[in-house]
C-alpha cells in the first residue's frame, strides 16, 4: 500500500502526532522528536511513548522522525561536528523509544571546505553516530543543490552511503529538492529517467521514505522552496507519473507543504490522494 501523510506537530505531547494522523486518516507521518531549532534534546516521556506506540500499532500507521535543522554532518568545524554527532545519537535513541524505524537527516553544508571534504565529513559523522547506536536507521535526504549543500545528486549520495557502509544508512527522497537539483519530475519521461538514475546509483532498496512536495521555482533552481501539491512546477502530471512507478507501491509519502491559510493541509492531502488514486487505484492508497 502507498501511504500518504504529513509532517505533524508534537506540541502538547509526542503522542498528539499519531493521534492527529489517526483522526485525519493518514497512513504515515513525520515528527521532530525534539525542538527543531535547538541543540538541546528533550527526553521522551515514557507514558507518551506508550500511547504513541499503541496508536501506530493499532492503526498500522508508519511514523518517521526528522533531525533538527541545526544538525550539519558535513561541517568540518569540530564543535559543530561534535554537536551534530550527539544530536544524531540522541534522535536515534528517541526513535527507538517511540518505535520509529527511520529518522531523516539533512546531509548538510560543507560551508566552504569543498564538496570532497563535505562528502568525507558527512560519511564520517553519520558512520560514527550509527556505530554508537543500534535500532533506527538514518535516512539521508537529497538536497536542493543550494550553495555549499552536499548530496543534491544521487551519485554523490551513493558515494556517501558507500563510505558509511551500514545497512542502517538509507535515503529520503524529497521531490522538491530533486526537481530544484535538476531532476525533471514534471513529466513521465523525466520521472522515468530520474528513477533509472536513482536505481543505478543508490538503488530503491535503500529508499526509506519520500518527501512529497511540489516546487515553487523552476527546474534546476537550486532553491529549497516547497509548494502546494499540483500547484507548482512539478504539477499533477509529474506526481501521477511518480506514483505509477512500481518501486513506490509500499512507500510512505510525507508532505511538508506550506500552510499559507487554514485548510491548506486538507487541500494538499485531497489533491495528493486524488492523484495517487488516479495512478494506482483506491485500494492501493492509505
Tell me which residues touch Mn ion (CB under 5 A): 141, 174, 211
Read off the C-alpha cell for 62: 508508519
Binding partner selected for residue 224 from Mn ion, Zn ion, none, CB under the kind-specific 5 to 8 Å limit: Zn ion
Return phi, psi of residue 81, to 5°. Answer: -65, -45
Stretch that binds Zn ion, among 21-29, 38-46, 218-226, 270-278 (CB under 5 A): 218-226
Residues in contact with 181: Cβ distance below 8 Å, sequence separation at least 6, in sequence order = 142, 143, 144, 145, 152, 153, 220, 222
Q: In which residue are the cell numbers 492523484 written?
A: 275
93 binds, among Zn ion, Mn ion, none (CB under 5 to 8 A by kind): none
Is 69 catalytic? The answer is yes
Active site residue 7: no
Q: How far apart are the first and last CA of the chain?
A: 6
Q: Which of 61, 130, 123 is nearest to 91 (CA)?
A: 130
Q: Grid coordinates standing for 102?
A: 527511520
The residue (of 59 and 182) whose beta carbon lies closer to Mn ion is: 182
Task: Give the residue, chosen from 224, 235, 275, 279, that forms a contact with Zn ion under the rule CB under 5 A.
Answer: 224
> Is 282 in contact with 4 (CB distance < 8 Å)?
no
Strand partners, 226: 215
Choice among 106, 110, 168, 228 that is catalytic: 106
The nearer residue to Mn ion, 93 or 141, going by C-beta atoms, is: 141
* Annotation says 233 is catalytic: no
DSSP 79: H
Known catalytic residue: 228? Answer: no
Shortest approach of Mn ion to residue 280 CB, angstroms? 22
From 11-19, 117-125, 147-155, 223-231, give the range in contact with Zn ion by CB under 5 A: 223-231
What the block records as the C-alpha cell of 248 is 513506490
Q: Reply yes or no on whether 66 is catalytic.
A: yes
Cβ proximity to Zn ion, 214 vs 224, nearer residue = 224
Active site residues: 37, 66, 69, 106, 141, 174, 177, 211, 224, 226, 256
Amino acid at each position: 500500500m502507498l501511504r500518504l501523510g504529513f509532517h505533524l506537530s508534537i506540541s502538547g505531547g509526542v503522542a498528539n502526532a499519531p493521534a492527529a494522523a489517526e483522526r485525519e486518516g493518514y497512513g504515515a507521518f513525520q515528527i521532530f522528536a525534539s525542538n527543531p531549532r535547538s541543540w538541546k534534546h528533550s527526553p521522551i516521556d515514557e507514558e507518551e511513548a506508550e500511547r504513541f506506540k499503541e496508536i501506530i500499532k493499532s492503526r498500522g500507521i508508519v511514523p518517521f522522525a526528522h533531525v533538527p535543522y541545526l544538525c550539519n554532518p558535513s561541517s568540518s568545524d569540530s564543535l559543530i561536528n561534535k554537536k551534530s554527532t550527539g544530536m544524531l545519537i540522541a534522535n536515534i535513541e528517541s526513535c527507538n523509544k517511540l518505535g520509529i524505524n527511520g529518522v531523516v537527516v539533512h546531509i548538510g553544508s560543507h560551508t566552504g571546505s569543498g564538496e570532497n571534504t563535505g562528502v568525507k565529513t558527512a560519511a564520517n559523522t553519520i558512520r560514527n553516530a550509527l556505530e554508537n547506536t543500534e535500532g533506527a536507521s538514518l535516512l539521508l535526504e537529497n538536497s536542493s543543490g543550494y550553495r555549499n549543500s552536499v548530496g543534491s545528486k544521487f551519485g554523490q549520495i551513493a558515494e556517501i552511503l558507500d563510505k558509511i557502509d551500514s545497512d542502517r544508512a538509507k535515503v529520503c527522497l524529497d521531490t522538491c529538492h530533486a526537481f530544484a537539483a535538476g531532476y525533471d519530475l514534471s513529466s513521465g519521461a523525466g520521472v522515468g529517467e530520474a528513477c533509472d538514475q536513482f536505481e543505478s546509483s543508490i538503488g530503491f532498496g535503500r529508499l526509506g521514505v519520500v518527501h512529497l512536495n511540489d516546487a515553487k521555482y523552476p527546474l534546476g533552481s537550486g532553491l529549497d522552496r516547497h509548494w502546494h501539491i499540483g500547484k507548482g512546477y512539478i504539477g499533477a502530471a509529474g506526481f501521477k507519473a511518480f506514483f505509477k512507478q512500481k518501486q513506490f507501491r509500499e512507500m510512505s509519502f510525507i508532505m511538508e507543504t506550506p500552510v499559507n491559510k487554514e485548510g491548506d493541509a486538507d487541500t494538499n492531502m485531497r489533491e495528493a490522494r486524488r492523484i495517487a488514486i488516479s495512478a494506482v487505484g483506491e485500494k492501493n492508497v492509505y
